[in-house]
Structure 1
Amino acid sequence: MWGKLLGAMFGMALFKWPGLLLGLLIGHWFDRSLRSSFEDSGGFAALKKDNSEAQGVFMYSTFAVMGHLAKADGVVTSAHIDKATEFMQQLGLNSKQQQEAQRAFREGKAADFPLLAQLALLKQSYRWRPDLLQLFLEIQISIAYVDAHLSAVEERLLQQLADALSISASRLQYLLGRYQAEARFAKRPRQAAAKSDTLQDAYQLLGVKPDCSESELKKAYKKQMAQHHPDKLMSQGLPAEMLELAKRKTQDIQAAYEMIKQNRS
C-alpha cells in the first residue's frame, strides 16, 4: 500500500497525470516485493517465535562446527577433545547436555557434514543479531588456537565461516589478534600490570593503540562491553548455557580497562 501511495505522489509531482499512473505501477511492484520478502522471513509469526529453536541451532552449530574445525588438519588431537570438554564444563552443561554437545561434535567431524547449510541456518536464525554471530566465530577461533598455532587449513576454514556469517576479512583478522591477546591476558596474574607485554595485551583486547586518547579508550571499552555484555546478549537470544562465557569475556574486558587506567594515572 505504502509503495503505491508514495509512488503516486512522486509520480504526480514530477510528471503530472502520466507520472501518477507510472508511480502506481512502480509502487505496486514494490509492495509485492516487500510483502514477498516479509512472508519469506516468516512474517509477524517470526517476530513472535520463541527463541528456543534459534538457541538450539546456536548450541548445535557451536559444537558441530567445533568438531569440523578440529578435524580441519585431518586428525582430531587430544588437545582438541580436551578443549571441547573444558568448554562444556565452563558452560556448566549437565550430563544430558554434554552428551548432546558430544554428539554434535562427532557429527561435525564427519566428512559429509553440511557445513555451509548449517552456517546458513545459524545466520538465518540470528540474521539481526551480529553480536551473537561474532561471538560464535570467537568460540571457533578458540578451538583453532588450541595448540597455540593456526594452520593454513584452519585459517581458510575460519575465513569460510566468517564469509558465511557476513563477517569481513578485516574483522576476522582483528578477532584473531584479539583472541590471542585475550588468551594471554586471562592467564596472567592481574598484579603483572607493570609488565609492558601484559599492558600491550590489555590494549589489544580493547582494540586500541597504547597512544590512544582517553576518549578513544573509553569509547573502545564501552563498545567491547556492549558487544559482550551478558544481559544484552541474553536479550538477543543467547542460549542460557552460554551466559558464563559472556560473563568471563566482560570480566576480562573490565580488568583490561582497569589495568590501563591504573597505568595511566
Structure 2
Amino acid sequence: MGNFTKYLGATLGWSFGGPIGGIIGFVLGSFIDGFSSDDLRQEETYGRTRTTRDPRMATQPGDFEISLLILAAVVIKADGKVDKRELSYVRRHFNQMYGATRANHAFKLFNGIIKNNNISTRQVCLQIRQNMTHASRLQLIHFLFGIAKADDFVSELEVNMIHKIAGYLSISNYDFESIKAMFYSGVNNAYKILEIEKSASDAEVKKAYRKLVKKHHPDKLQHLGKEHLKGAEEKFRQIQKAYEDIQKERGL
C-alpha cells in the first residue's frame, strides 16, 4: 500500500481538496481501514519533495491524470454498464503515457473510482474548470470521446454525458461538436471539425483552420508533461487532415 499512496502523493496537487479529494478519500477508504486525510497529506508532501512543480501553473500532470480518471469512470458508466474494451482503452492509454508501473497504480485507483456511485459530475467539473486551462479541458473532452469509441460504438447516452461534462467545463458547443466530429468520418465532419458550415468561402475555411490550429496547438499543453503531448498531437493531426480533406474536395 505504501507505494500506491506515495504514487498518489506524487500526483496530487490542487486535486487533493474539494470533491475530487473526497473521491480519492473514498477510494483509499475502500483499500485500507483507518487511512486518514492526514496520512494522504503526508504522502502528498513526500511526493512534492520528489517532483518539480512550477508555481506559475495551476495544473500539474498529476491533476490532469486524476481528473481524467474520474471523468473516464463517469463516461464508461453512462450507458449503465462497464465494457471491458473501454477499460482496456484506459489501461492501454495510461501504459502508453506513463509506463507500466505508473499505469498499474493509476488503474488501481481507477477501479476504485468505478465502484463509487456517488460522484457529483457537476462539482468535479467545477473544480477542474477553476484550476485547468481551456486547452487542457479540450484535451479531456477529446480523451473521453476516445474512451466512448473504444467499443466501436458511441452510444447516445455516452454522447449526452460528454456533452454535459463539456457544459460544466465551459466548453462551447462549437468546440464540443468539433471534437466529436473527429471520431466520425466524412467530408461533412471535416467542416464540423473546423467549426464552419459547408457553405463557407475558401477564405473562411482558411481563417477557421488557423483559428483551430492556434486553439489546439500541442504547445499549450507543455506544462502537463510530454506524456500528454501525444494525445494533443493526434488531435492536431485530425484538424490538419480535416483542412486537407476540404482542400481536396474543393480542388484548392
After TM superposition, the score normalised by the length of structure 2 is: 0.67
Q: Are 2:154 and 1:149 equivalent residues in the alignment?
A: yes
| Distance in 2 between residues matched to 1:96 and 1:139, nearest whole Å | 21
Alignment gaps of 5+ in structure 1: 1-47, 186-197
Cα contact 2:216–2:236 (8 A) shared by 1? yes
Q: Aligned-pair distance for 1:248?
A: 1.1
The alignment-based identity, stated in percent, is 24
Q: Are 2:207 and 1:202 equivalent residues in the alignment?
A: no
How has the CA–CA distance of structure 1 residues 179 and 88 changed in structure 2, closer, same or farther, with 3 Å as cutoff? same
Per-residue deviation, residues 58-113 of structure 1 (Å, max 9, x unmatched): 11110221022212233211121122133224x43211221233134223312134
What is the aligned partner in structure 2 of residue 217 from structure 1? 205
Q: How many residues align?
A: 196
How has the CA–CA distance of structure 1 residues 238 and 144 changed in structure 2, closer, same or farther, with 3 Å as cutoff? same
Q: Equivalences for 1:80-229 in 2 at 5 Å?
A: 80-89=86-95, 91-109=96-114, 110-126=116-132, 129-147=133-151, 148-152=153-157, 154-168=158-172, 170-171=173-174, 175=176, 177-185=177-185, 198-229=186-217
RMSD: 2.6
How has the CA–CA distance of structure 1 residues 182 and 101 changed in structure 2, closer, same or farther, with 3 Å as cutoff? same
For 2:196, the aligned partner's letter is: V
| Distance in 1 between residues matched to 2:242 and 2:160, nearest whole Å | 30
| Distance in 1 between residues matched to 2:184 and 2:106, nearest whole Å | 27
Q: Are 2:240 and 1:254 equivalent residues in the alignment?
A: yes
Q: Aligned-pair distance for 1:180?
A: 4.6
What is the aligned partner in structure 1 of residue 80 from structure 2? 74
After TM superposition, the score normalised by the length of structure 1 is: 0.64
| Distance in 2 between residues matched to 1:156 and 1:180, nearest whole Å | 11
| Distance in 1 between residues matched to 2:84 and 2:180, nearest whole Å | 21
Cα contact 1:70–1:144 (8 A) shared by 2? yes
Higher relative contact order (CA 8 A, sep 6+): 2
Q: Which has the larger radius of gyration?
A: 1
| Distance in 2 between residues matched to 1:116 and 1:106, nearest whole Å | 21
What is the aligned partner in structure 1 of residue 218 from structure 2? 230
How has the CA–CA distance of structure 1 residues 68 and 199 changed in structure 2, closer, same or farther, with 3 Å as cutoff? closer
Q: Aligned-pair distance for 1:133?
A: 1.5
Q: Aligned-pair distance for 1:226?
A: 1.2
Cα contact 2:142–2:235 (8 A) shared by 1? no
Q: Aligned-pair distance for 1:157?
A: 3.0
Larger helix percent: 1
Alignment gaps of 5+ in structure 2: 1-53
Q: Aligned-pair distance for 1:246?
A: 0.8
For 2:205, the aligned partner's letter is: L
Q: Aligned-pair distance for 1:208?
A: 2.1
